[in-house]
Amino acid sequence: MLKLYNTLTRKLEEFKTVKDNIVRMYNCGPTVYSYVHIGNLRSFVFADLLKRYLKYKGYKVKQVMNITDVGHLTSDSDEGEDKLMVAAKKENKDPYEISKFYTEKFREDIEKLNFDKADYYPKATEHIKEMLKIIEVLMDKGYAYKAGPNVYYDTSKFKEYGKLSGMKVEELEAGKRVEVDHNKKHPSDFVLWFTKSKFKGHLMKWSSKFGEGYPGWHIECTAMSAKYLTSYFENGEFETFDIHTGGEDNKFPHHEAEIAQSEAAFGKKFVNYWLHVKHLIVEGKKMSKSLGNFYTLRDLEDKGYDPMAVRLLLISTHYRQQLNFTFAGLDAAGKNLEKVRDFMLRVDEMNGQDDAIEIVETARKNFEKAMDDDLNVSGALAVMFDFMTEVNKINVKDKEIVKGFVNDVLDVFGLKINFNREIDDSIKRMIEEREEARKRKDWETADKIRDELKQKGVVLEDTPAGVRWKLLK
């Protein structure tokens, strides 16, 4: 029985789908104005992990991850400038070029991190029509109003505003930290549609009955989840969907706003389970460009790290706990991957008579128990390493069962390990050349070739029986 911590109820709850064994899930995706950083990636990797475990449990998962390419301002509420426009100005490019470029880079990142591709990666700019339709419904139902140049959501009309984050409208009114927008009836109201607003020369704009303009940030997720996970835009039927995820910073105002818009417009509960991933810190400090500890996947690759080690480190601390991302941790993750690879290669060479069925069954049961407990990855990893220790003590006959279990675990964690023992001819030739150099005691050449091979991911071991090689990746 899978239990997940639901932010909405603040409880660990048994997971039940709305319909049969189909899980409909929406994940707040990247705002494509720069490379995503490892903190963003942690949230996306978590969504992928959750999807993979649901599939392991036998569910069919329909997954949507949005791409925000308009409307997300430099603040998560309505202040500041559009992030895309700021990047466009800085790089002296068209905002569409910026979003195209960074969307491509995002796709490369998730490919390297071995994501199980979502069914849809919809872009905000391609769903303006759907957003406008919902804004119209909100207007008709009295949840939205036009004031000054913009259209706002009236949070006072939605009695449950604040139910996800625990923020109260009164607190927001009292806490006036935010820049005051005098067009708003209440400080907690948020923009659904900007027109001739403070942003002059905004290049991304669309005509609408509210005036030429562009959407606020929150409305895109309501529109795109309804479009891809329900039949709302076909027949007006919105069906509550199962899971919505995001980083903890999305909780307020973004997800609170999504709930308010959706439940007011559709007249139904928006989502059953809300899951939020906590921030990470780097080497014990808040990640920031000024501290020089701000990393993207590219930065880590440039330092020679394997994306799979990054993935393992990102998932190994429970998603609701703060992760301290350290280079020592990254090295340890890389070593753990090597341990698994060596184990699998050793199992392959086993030819004994020991029965492993019982060990596998116990390990599988414990793995599931850990993962069923709100995806306790560190517990599940401990199960796998204990299992490897046990198997290493014996010489199994049923190696496929042993390997099958490890492969299932790797699949759930999304870790791709290259067990291929083949090396190509050019590598073989280099190994031979090194052997020849050693024979003529030309240690310098031998060491040079050894280093070159290591760069290519091939590690050599000189044994009394001759040279052996191992693949690092």
Strand 280-282 relative to strand 323-325: parallel, antiparallel, unpaired? parallel
Listed in sequence order, the DSSP H helices in 60-127 are: 83-91, 95-112
Q: Report how far residue 148's alpha carbon sits from residue 272's, in angstroms, rounded to the nearest whole number.
A: 36
User: Toward Zn ion, which CB reaches closer, 43 or 114?
Assistant: 43
CB 13 → Zn ion: shortest distance, Å? 22
- Which CB atom, from 256 or from 306, has the smaller least distance to Zn ion? 256
| Residues near Zn ion (CB under 5 A), total | 2
- Our CB check for Zn ion shows the closer of 45 and 221 to be 221
> Do the Cβ atoms of 65 and 29 come closer than 8 Å?
yes
Of 134 and 437, which CB lies nearer to Zn ion in the complex structure? 134
Contact 460, 472 (CB under 8 A): no
CA distance 319 to 165: 18
Quote the least distance from Cβ 28 to Zn ion, whole Å: 3
Span interacting with Zn ion, options 85-93, 184-192, 217-225, 230-238, rule CB under 5 A: 217-225
Cβ proximity to Zn ion: between 258 and 306 the closer is 258
CB nearer Zn ion, residue 28 or residue 449? 28
Point out which span in 23-31, 156-164, 208-216, 352-360 binds Zn ion (CB under 5 A). Answer: 23-31
Interface with Zn ion in residues 126-185 (CB under 5 A): none
Q: Does 28 bind Zn ion (CB under 5 A)?
A: yes
CB 6 → Zn ion: shortest distance, Å?
Answer: 17
User: Which positions ≥6 away from 455 have C-beta within 8 Å?
Assistant: none
Which one of 27-35, 194-202, 391-399, 413-421 is the stretch in contact with Zn ion (CB under 5 A)? 27-35
Pairing of strands 323-325, 285-286: unpaired
Compute the least distance from the CB of residue 139 to Zn ion, in Å.
22
Which stretch, 57-65, 108-116, 215-223, 304-312, contacts Zn ion (CB under 5 A)? 215-223
Best CA proximity match to 220, nearest among 67, 36, 25? 67
Q: Is the distance from CB of 27 to CB of 106 less than 8 angstroms?
A: no
Chain center to CA of 55: 16
Task: Give the nearer residue to Zn ion in terms of CB position, either 247 or 334.
Answer: 247
Burial category of 279 from C-beta neighbours within 10 Å (exposed 0-12, middle 13-18, buried 19 and up) = middle
- Cβ-based neighbours of 453, under 8 Å, separated by 6 or more: 427, 430, 431, 434, 459, 460, 469
Nearer Cβ to Zn ion, position 67 or 312? Answer: 67
Choose one: 140-148, 216-224, 288-296, 309-317; the region binding Zn ion (CB under 5 A): 216-224
What are the backbone dihedrals phi and psi of residue 452, each rounded to the nearest 5 degrees, phi first?
-60, -40
Given a contact cutoff of 8 angstroms between Cβ atoms, the answer to whether 164 and 8 are in contact is yes
**Min dist. Cβ of residue 226 to Zn ion (A):** 13
Q: How many CA atoms lie within 13 A of 83 on its CB side?
A: 21
Q: What's the min distance (Å) between Cβ of 254 and Zn ion?
A: 6
- Nearest Cα neighbor of 340 from 296, 384, 376, 395 is 384
- Of positions 54, 88, 110, 221, contacts Zn ion by CB under 5 A: 221
Shortest reach from residue 247's CB to Zn ion, in Å:
10
Q: Smallest distance from the beta carbon of 156 to Zn ion, in angstroms?
A: 23
Smallest distance, Zn ion to C-beta of residue 270, A = 12
Report the residue number, 154 or 258, with the smaller CB distance to Zn ion.
258
φ and ψ at residue 240, rounded to 5 degrees: -45, 135
Residue 453 touches Zn ion, criterion: CB under 5 A: no
Q: Is 204 in the site for Zn ion (CB under 5 A)?
A: no
Stretch that binds Zn ion, among 175-183, 219-227, 354-362, 463-471 (CB under 5 A): 219-227
List residues binding Zn ion (CB under 5 A): 28, 221
